[in-house]
Amino acid sequence: MEARAASFATTEIATFEEPWAIAFAPGTAILFVTEKSGTLKLLDTATGMTATVSGAPAVDYGGQGGLGDLAFLPAEASETLGRRTIYLSWAEAGRGDTRGAVVGKGTLVCAAATRCTIEGLTVIWRQTPKVTGRGHYSHRISISPDGKHLFVASGERQKMSPAQDPTNTLGTIVRLNLDGTPAAGNPLADKGGVAAEIWSWGHRNILGLEWDAQGRLWEVEHGPAGGDELNLVQRGANYGWPVRSDGDHYNGDPIPDHTPDDGFAQPALSWNPVIAPGDMLIYSGAMFTNWQGHALMAGLGSQALVDVAIDGESAREVARHAFDRRLRALTQGPDGAVWVAEDGKGARLLKLTAR
């Protein structure tokens, strides 16, 4: 797919150090930014003022690990920040040379728009088991549209085979109650233990987790050498990694491609060469009518905003907008503008608006 000329205006708003996730507190113009080394910051987009939020967790920083995603409860939307629930994910050290992703729940308390702290932050979920290495945590988090469940993307930590073993949570998406306990109705609930948390499995490294207007959950994940996938997430589905992939191992060893009769859930779309997704947004605003209902993906290696049209349970790439740096994170602003955070040191926060 050739890169298209931008159909939007791009404004540089601020810079951050290794931003990983961005999200507006519902009902406000306050944008929160996680920085991978362990700092949580906020930007008042109405005034341009930035501040550091105190009370962020200690993280195991290195490789792909550190402070990760954040989420708020839609039901707590308010024009003032005041007090509201906040969820954060991060990499946590274990015994020996092991690590794993965790999700914590706390209360965001703001005396003013730029004076905020997190109180009572408590770990409510841990990736199981902790393993060596510093890759493929995934740890994207998303609240279901009805506000009742917390979904967490749990990467396979570059260990591959655990993604086919539902007695652990590596290579899975888990569905939890808002307190982190396994939700009723999960497909492996009768097996107990961590299997009771699992909603789907056979995943590699999920870095985008989003809901469409129909209330369906979609995820985009990194493949190996080729084979990035966009998947419609179904209850109890196995997405095939590492048994099937439309890519190959990095050393060139082949992996059988997905086929309709292989017994695994099929990707709605796959890429080879890869786009190396950093995040995904399913656009629902009024500012960009041509993006409504589309999945927009932040491209790391591809250094592009990738526009994907969703049609039923299939999808197709319709445009690729080139940028001059790797793109890490996306979110939709209250007015329908799209906010983009670049990857790495001195990363710019960009606001995309209609021309």
- Token pair 């309709």 is found at 260
Residue 170: name the closest of 268, 232, 219, 242 by CA.
242
Mean per-residue pLDDT of the chain: 97
- Counting residues of the chain whose pLDDT is more than 90, the rounded percentage is 96
pLDDT in tens, 282-304: 999 999 999 999 999 999 999 99
Dump pLDDT digits (tens) for 140-166.
999 999 999 999 999 999 999 999 999
Count other Cβ atoms within 10 Å, centred on residue 333. Answer: 17
User: Quick one: pLDDT at residue 7?
Assistant: 82
Using the Cα atoms of residue 285, residue 206, residue 127 and residue 99 in order, give the sign of their dihedral: negative
pLDDT band at 322 (very low <50, low <70, confident <90, very high): very high
Strands, E assignment, 223-323: 228-232, 269-271, 277-282, 295-299, 304-311, 314-322
pTM to 2 decimal places: 0.97
Angle CA(228)–CA(98)–CA(230) in degrees, nearest 5? 15
**Cα–Cα distance for residue pair 158/223, rounded to 1 Å:** 11
CB atoms within 10 A of CB 15: 14
Query: What are the strands of the beta sheet with 198-201, ordered from one edge?
Result: 138-143, 149-154, 172-177, 198-201
Write the pLDDT tens digit of every residue in 49-104.
999 999 999 999 999 999 999 999 999 999 889 999 999 999 999 999 999 999 99
User: How confident is the model at residue 218, as a pLDDT?
Assistant: 98
Query: What tens digit of pLDDT does each residue of 163-184 get?
Result: 999 999 999 999 999 999 999 9
- Which two structure tokens, joined as six digits, stand for 288? 């960009």
Q: What is the pLDDT of residue 281?
A: 98
Distances (CA, A) of 108 to 13, 25, 333: 24, 10, 20
Identify which of 179, 22, 181, 153 has the alpha carbon closest to the alpha carbon of residue 85.
Answer: 179
User: What is the CATH T-level fold of the domain 8-354, as seen in this structure?
Assistant: Neuraminidase (2.120.10)
Kindly tell me if the per-residue pLDDT of 2 is higher than 80: no
From 193, 159, 160, 158, select the one nearest 174 (Cα to Cα): 193
Task: Report the distance separating Cα 218 and Cα 208, nearest Å.
Answer: 8
Q: Where are the domains of the chain?
A: 8-354
User: CA distances (Å), 75 to each of 27, 105, 112, 208, in order?
Assistant: 10, 16, 21, 22
Instruction: List phi, psi (to 5°) of 206.
Output: -80, 125
Give the per-residue pLDDT at 80.
87
CA proximity to 171, closest of 94, 83, 244: 244
- Which residues fall within 8 angstroms of residue 93, CB to CB, at 6 or more apart? 60, 99
Local confidence band at 4 (pLDDT 50, 70, 90 cut-offs)? low
User: For position 264, what pLDDT does the model report?
Assistant: 98
